[in-house]
Amino acid sequence: MTRPVDPKAMTPSTPGSTRTAPPTVDDAFWSRPRMRTYLLFDATGIVYTVIGFVALRVAWALRDGAETWNAMLASFQHPLYLGFHLVALLSVLFVGVRFFRLFPKAQPARLGPAKPPPPPVLLAMLYAAWIGATALLLAVLGGIWP
């Protein structure tokens, strides 16, 4: 079953020689897996906005002194913050994996005389770089490495 959409949505700027059918949207449009994936990908933008505000809060706590910093760290122990950080981690992983799945398809067939590696090799290299960068950041932020 379909429903009508704005009839001027696909109107050409200049009239053509043939008439076009009015645009319609399938009723099952929102429940399709691809559409749900797109909506979930778009919703990660909301999570990133909130992450930005949390980063601002952290910066302001650093500016205001040790007491404010310790109070902010204590507030991060609240279950809502822990849940939000889990959602943030899942959002970053979802976007990263989605990007890495798209990246090999977006590579040119040739770049000068060199050909890119096969997609599985390229994916393995991307994931290795991601894991390596994450391990390096964890080591630096954890105080393990200089």
Domain edges within the chain: 17-87
Q: What's the angle, vertex CA 47, arms to CA 130 and CA 103, rounded to 5?
A: 35
Fold of 17-87: 3 helical TM bundles of succinate and fumarate reductases (1.20.1300)
Give the pLDDT band (50/70/90) at residue 1: low
Taking Cα atoms as reference points, which of 109, 104, 107, 138 lies closest to residue 122?
A: 104
Whether pTM > 0.75 for this model: the answer is no
Instruction: Render pLDDT for 16-50 as a digit per residue (tens, 0 to 9).
Output: 777 667 777 788 877 888 888 888 999 999 999 99
Instruction: Please state, rounded to an integer, the average pLDDT across all residues of the chain.
Output: 86
Q: How many CA atoms lie within 13 A of 66 on its CB side?
A: 0
Give the pLDDT band (50/70/90) at residue 101: confident
